[in-house]
């Protein structure tokens, strides 16, 4: 599904002459993949940056950076999405490690 999203986004971007430059459009499929596998999330970050370049969103007409620098910046932003998803996932799931401290109950004596 995420690969199809990026493919459709690239085709739409080509037909609109690179008008779809918002990073959130590329971040949604990256976040979906990163929720299940962080390594695949980083791969999709690279694919998202490549799809932005193929679709014409990179290079931006009002930025004086090279294509490589702008692509690296897009990859960094999408990689930050992967890191944020992994952090949010770690915070939302309960800890099941043996070494984790259990919260002490206050007010009870045993």
Domain boundaries, given as residue ranges, for the chain: 2-90
* Per-block mean pLDDT, blocks of 10 residues, the chain (110 long): 82 81 88 93 93 83 82 92 92 66 57
Dihedral (Cα; 33, 24, 47, 10), 10-degree rounding: 120
* In contact, 42 and 82? CB cutoff 8 Å: yes
> Phi, psi at residue 12, to the nearest 5°?
-65, -40
* In contact, 36 and 30? CB cutoff 8 Å: no
Tokens of 109: 């004596």
**pLDDT score recorded for residue 104:** 58
Neighbours of 42 (CB within 10 A): 18
Say what the pTM is.
0.74
């Amino acid at each position: 599904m995420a690969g199809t999203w990026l493919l459709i986004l690239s085709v739409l971007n080509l037909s609109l002459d690179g008008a779809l430059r918002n990073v959130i459009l590329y971040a949604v499929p990256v976040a979906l993949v990163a929720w299940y596998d962080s390594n695949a999330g980083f791969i999709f970050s690279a694919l998202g940056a490549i799809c932005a370049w193929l679709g014409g969103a990179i290079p931006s007409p009002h930025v004086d950076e090279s294509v490589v620098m702008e692509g690296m910046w897009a990859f960094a932003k999408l990689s930050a999405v992967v890191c944020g998803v992994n952090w949010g996932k770690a915070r939302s799931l309960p800890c099941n490690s043996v070494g984790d401290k259990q919260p002490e109950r206050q007010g009870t004596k045993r």
